[in-house]
Amino acid sequence: MSGQDVRTEFLYRLPPAVMWEFTRVMDGLSGPDWTRFASEVLSDQTDVRLAERRERRTDWVMNQWESRNGRVGELLDLLERLQLLRARDVILSWRSSMKSSSPPPVARPSLPPPISLSQFDPPPKPRAPPTSTMSTAAG
How many domains does the structure of the chain reveal? 1
107 within some domain: no
Helices 31-41 and 16-27 cross at an angle (nearest 10°) of 130
Angle at 79 between CA 57 and CA 34, to 5 degrees: 30
Cα 18 to Cα 2: distance, rounded to the nearest angstrom: 17
81 in a domain, yes or no?
Answer: yes
Task: Report if residue 135 sits inside a domain.
Answer: no
Determine, yes or no, domain membership for 65.
Answer: yes
Look at residue 116 and tell me if it is in a domain.
no
More confident residue, 72 or 111: 72
Domain span at residue 46? 10-100
Report whether pLDDT(105) > 60.
no
Query: What CATH number has the domain bearing residue 64?
Result: 1.10.533.10
Residue 133: inside a domain, yes or no? no
Q: What is the pLDDT of residue 63?
A: 94
Residue 111's pLDDT is 57
Summarize pLDDT for 30-85 with one digit per residue, the tens: 999 999 999 999 989 999 999 999 999 999 999 999 999 999 999 999 999 999 99
pLDDT on residue 136: 56
User: What mean pLDDT do residues 85-100 have?
Assistant: 83
Please indicate, yes or no, if residue 129 is contained in any of the structural domains: no
Question: How high does pLDDT run on average in the chain?
Answer: 82
Is residue 11 a contact partner of residue 71, using CB atoms and an 8 Å limit? yes
Quick one: what percent of the chain has pLDDT higher than 90? 60
Whether the CA torsion 39, 45, 48, 53 is positive or negative: it is: positive
User: Is the model more confident about 53 or about 103?
Assistant: 53
